[in-house]
Structure 1
Amino acid sequence: MKKYNEEHINNLNKLELEKLGSQGLLIDVRTQEEYEIGHINGAILHPLDKIESFNKAQNETYYIYCKSGNRSGQASKYLAEQGYDVVNLDGGYKAFEEKNFDDSVFESNRIINIKDNRKKFNYSNLQCPGPIVNISKEMKNIEEGDQIEVMVTDIGFLSDIKSWAKQTGHTLVKLDESNNSIRAIIQKEKPKELEVSHTSNGTTIVLFSGELDKAIAALIIANGAKASGRNVTIFFTFWGLNALKKDQVRKVKKKGIAKMFDFMLPKTPLKMPISKMNMFGLGNIMMRYVMKKKNVDSLPSLIDQAIDQDIKLIACTMSMDVMGIQKEELRDEVEYGGVGTYIGDTVNASHNLFI
């Protein structure tokens, strides 16, 4: 009987993972597009939808990873049933990248020294897209090769600055998080030539509405697009954040305006109003009754499907701050970012929706 084990990807360090790759034992089951954007050195690409063609020797143990652990779990179970010894690397490339990002900055084999004469800026308490906008302005005022250092407290900046640097071609020399703040050092590079990079494989959706029927429509489109082979990102902002709330959440203490918002906003996605004929909540009940009778999935069920399919769910941190919504209230699988993160995904998408 062959074994199927699970281990978090960061229980192995970068060198150990790359060694497994060099031995042909590290298997990446994401898509070709995801693999090309970034992967662990030496990893062999074998997408989940082609896992049935896996035919390597059965006297080895194979380590399987995807973006976060969902697809690799499916692949690992299948391979174990076929007689392979496998280890599902939970957390996936997402966790690996977060831990090893500073190493990946130097993939070009350049050693970039931090310069003593760098300009320093404090953008604490400035919400998205403020930090990115200000950084863009300051980069225009320095020469190629010069550096700036910024301090930011918006948690979405951690993701935004990576996406921004990738889009602009500037170098993210250093990025670290401590004491509730994020420090980044960026070096100005030669302006990146504009190019058309749209593909037929990307769909991005901004969910602004807090209405149940519109949120359901957004998730139906997203799940359908993903099932059709597209890479999908949904950016939840303002009222749309209600769709990401947990069905049951422990009470979070709030004060002032945040407490008022908490009182007025729906506690769970199922309590969201509908856009027409809401009738003080009666419309919501009627809508859910008809959906159930017609075997239409509920909003929480659609979000579960999105998570299972590795659809990227981004909560707008600026909107969270404005509305007093805290991480504890939202689903654990949600990523956090701002407009820079979202725009980074739209660059590689030809299908963009605002709902």
Structure 2
Amino acid sequence: MAKTYLDSTKYIVYAHIEVGGQVTQNDIVGAIFGQTEGLLGPELDIRTLVNNGKLGRIEVVANVKGNRTFGSIKIPSGLNAIETALIAASIEAVERVGPYAAKVNIDRIEDTRKEKRIKIVEKAKQYYRQLINTELPDTKELLAELISLAAEDQIIEYGPERLPAVKGFDTYDEIILVEGRADVINLVKADIYNVVSIGGANKVPASIVELSKKKTVTVFLDGDSGASMILKNLISAGVEIDYIAKAPEGKEVEELTRKEIIKALRNKVEFHPPEEQQTQEEKAPQISDEEIKQKVQEMVGTNTTKIITKKGTKEIASRYVLKELEKIDNIEEFYGDVILTPRLLSLLLQKQAKVIGVNKIGAIPQLPKHVKIVAIS
């Protein structure tokens, strides 16, 4: 038995027909079935597709004017775009209706899903307006609760010490060490997943020591006095540290906003072990703090920065300092009326700078001891 309905309407083909004689709607439908039969093979036979529910019922509205008939044709389609386009093209092949000449033209093919999407978006806007007018405070609280629950679900216990960690954190090449479970959860809320806790400020777990030998390690410390103790414990236990990141002064990692977390991690600085710092410190130029301050004072108000290398001295505009530093190697001394940011310090360390004189030192968790750094304010 043939289907009388269409499974799902994706497209609608609209066309018009002109016949050189008086015909009925059924005559036009019959001509479409008859003259398209076999054109595109059995898979795209229009009569079969209608019977199988792939095409909807062909709707024709015919108007007789004098000895001519003008009609509109509408065919709903559940086929894909290419198949629907082929069906539309085949209808234009109809040349006669009964004994009369006929001409069919396709007006357009409408994507019904586009119209549905427009209606859905409009409805969504309407519902959203209702929400923000009546439920916004509760929604914020609910969202925060859901985020916390989702973060909790990501936490596992790592190693024999059962350290709080993010599921799959050890698949990353670089990992972040934090103090406790609450720190791990807060980083997950910020969409950071390569995190493991050291389990507190006491004994450093052996699992962390072993893990540090295989991974690039960033230690993310609180912005309080206890941070230095944790760092010393990690160093004493033999944890191989590559970078240090620190929360803003007076804040703990567990209470930071996403923006503060991202900023702190972006401003991480390269860590140099104490023995490496001591060895390199011996090679630092012997220049007094007063001499360095005097050189910086000379730069104040000039909007320039002085860079000294073995090849000579170069002065560049302060606003281009980061870009220009990329092009210079083996820097001996750096002086400028600038703020020493984590990014600037990292770049100067890469260029092996031994003396750095600036106006002010920014939020840097730990200054390297093997480089002489002096600020005038």
- In our comparison, the structure showing a higher alpha carbon Rg is 2
> TM-score band (shorter)?
under 0.3
